[in-house]
Amino acid sequence: MTAPAPLATAESLSAIAATPRLLVALDFDGTLAPFEDEPMDARMVREARAALDALLALPDTYVALVSGRSLHDLRLIAEHPDDSHLWLAGSHGAEFWIPGEGAVEPDDADDDIALRDRLRTEAEEATSDLSGIWIEPKTFGFGVHTRRADAADAEAANTRVDRIVEAEAPHWRRRTGHNIVEFAFRQEGKDAGVAALRERVGATAVLFAGDDVTDEDALRKLGPDDLGVRVGGGATSARVSVPDIAGMADLLALLAQLRGAARE
């Protein structure tokens, strides 16, 4: 990561808007939807939804959500029906939903699944005396949510679960985010998810946007013809930024307008 990125402008969007085959890949929580104390209550803001619909209506334009959420949970919070034209990459790019085809999920070894279930149960038991802690089931592991906890209970929860995973599954991948620590037996990151989507749709350029540490995996791997967008402040590998979710919705609406004009 480098310094904070300058704010996006119409000029910074012009090249990506004119690319022959565009993939718009977006994080969900904190990028299109506000964080909620109950994570499954998260929903995309109305303005972002309208902008995505406008992009999806354009030719040679593909829109994907790339999230750390399991594919099942991502479909729920994104209000994603079976006939949606939105592509999905769940679990940081280990699971996909392809329009017209449906879910594409890897086959995992029984031993990995059994260890996932056992460690998730141990994490729940180890944190059961702490207030405001939620152990979120995930397809390939689990997440420790501390948004509703005070600082002391959050630190205690993370310390206890770290010890469990370090002792029993040191090969698992550990990720941090906004008030969450995630553990998974698969190693895929959002960079792999975006790369797979790029290849699948044959994109000539990609716009990827995100707000968190895990999004930097994808932002760092973008090419010179791509555009990375950081939502919020902080050091980032993105070329441009927007201040918040509302700013991201405005950027997507402007992108749809510019691309529509470029495709005429």
Tell me the per-residue pLDDT of 7-36, one tens digit each, with 9 for 90 and over.
Answer: 999 999 999 999 999 999 999 999 999 999
Q: Which long-range contacts (CB under 8 A, 24 or more apart) does 33-36 make?
A: 33/77, 33/245, 34/245, 35/147, 35/178, 35/179
In whole numbers, what is the pLDDT of the chain averaged over residues? 95
The residue-averaged pLDDT of 164-181 equals 93
CATH of span 10-106+189-262:
3.40.50.1000
The residue-averaged pLDDT of 129-140 equals 94
- pLDDT at residue 200 tops 70: yes
The three-point CA angle 210-2-171 to 5° equals 65
What pLDDT score does 4 carry?
Answer: 87
What pLDDT score does 188 carry?
Answer: 87
Q: Residue 120 — φ and ψ, nearest 5°? A: -60, -45
CA 82/CA 71 separation, integer angstroms: 13
3-state secondary structure at position 45:
coil
- pLDDT at residue 61 tops 90: yes
- Angle, helices 46-56/245-262, rounded to nearest 10 degrees: 20
What pLDDT score does 107 carry?
Answer: 80
CATH of span 110-184:
3.30.70
Other beta carbons within 10 angstroms of residue 53's beta carbon come to: 13
Q: Which long-range contacts (CB under 8 A, 24 or more apart) does 161-168 make?
A: 161/123, 161/126, 161/127, 164/119, 164/122, 164/123, 164/126, 165/119, 168/115, 168/119, 168/122
Residue 139 CB burial class (10 angstroms; 0-12, 13-18, ≥19): buried
For CATH 3.30.70, the residue range(s) in the chain are 110-184
Per-residue pLDDT reduced to its tens digit, 64-121: 999 999 999 999 999 999 999 999 999 999 999 999 999 998 888 889 999 999 999 9
What pLDDT score does 263 carry?
Answer: 74
What pLDDT score does 1 carry?
Answer: 62
Q: Is 171 left (phi over 0), alpha (psi -120 to 50) or beta?
A: alpha
Q: Residue 230 — φ and ψ, nearest 5°? A: -100, 130
Cα distances from 254 to residues 11, 127, 139, 209, 226, in angstroms, run 11, 45, 35, 15, 17
The three-point CA angle 250-19-55 to 5° equals 40
What pLDDT score does 145 carry?
Answer: 94
For CATH 3.40.50.1000, the residue range(s) in the chain are 10-106+189-262
- DSSP-derived pairing of the beta strands 141-145 and 180-184: antiparallel
List the end-to-end C-alpha distance of the chain, in Å, as a whole number. Answer: 37
